[in-house]
Amino acid sequence: MINIFVINNYEVFRQGLISILGKHAEFQVIGDAASVSEALDKLDGLQPDIVIMDVSLPGGDSTEAINLLQQKFPRVKILIFTTSDRKEDFFKALKAGVRGYLLKTADATELIESIRLMASGDAIISPLPVFRLIGEFEETNRQNKDRTNNLSRREKEVLRLVVDGASNKEIATQCYVSETTAKAHLRRILEKLNVRNRAQAAALAISNDLLEQS
């Protein structure tokens, strides 16, 4: 069972989202709130697996809100579900440690699958914010060229799949390796590129035209 908490300042949106999640037996919505402060009060004594929230909420900075949630619930995974495709919002959320950034243009199927993948340990990002993030990495990318070129052929193959949004299981299937091996490849890629997660690795790969290389 995946315990989910929803934070959004629009009640109609919260109730609609709860209705969608309620159709799936593996999800349990343990509560909802209009603000982070209300959420922290309601979550007292609970253990959420995933918190779904907007990047813009009343009562403070989103980065501070994310940090407060992660301090109280170190194992929680935060999914930003928002209309904002601004690179500033995406980059702030990414640096704060969110595991998912999904635009509200996504349909219900994409949302449900994103939650499942996040619960299994994957990071989820909508394609558009990846490209909007590229500008933030351009200067760093020039310094990272040598590290990018040090990737093996297999690691580049794995990185291409990451950019395409493949999960660890899908990477393992397409590369004909175990999921454990796929995760090991990904860890080495992150180390070589000096990035924190697969979202940053994907942005770095695109801005370096790595996908165009043989």
What pLDDT sits at residue 42?
92
167-180, pLDDT tens digit by residue? 999 999 999 999 99
Tell me how far the alpha carbon of residue 39 is from its chain's centroid. Answer: 21
What pLDDT sits at residue 198?
86
The pTM (predicted TM-score) of the whole model is 0.64
Mean model confidence pLDDT for the chain: 85
Residues whose CB is less than 8 angstroms from the CB of residue 64 and which lie 6 or more positions away in sequence, other chains included: none
Rounded Cα–Cα distance for residues 70 and 59 (Å): 17
Q: Which CATH superfamily is domain 2-125 in?
A: Response regulator (3.40.50.2300)
pLDDT above 50 (res 214): no
35-78, pLDDT tens digit by residue? 888 988 999 889 999 999 998 887 666 788 888 888 889 899 99
User: Whose CA is closest to 119, among 68, 168, 187?
Assistant: 168
How many Cβ atoms sit within 10 Å of the Cβ of residue 153?
8
Task: Tell me if 2-125 shares its fold with 130-212.
Answer: yes
CATH class label, 130-212: alpha beta
Q: Where are the domains of the chain?
A: 2-125, 130-212
- 55-58-63-68 Cα dihedral, nearest 10 degrees: -120
Token pair 């904002």: residue:
84
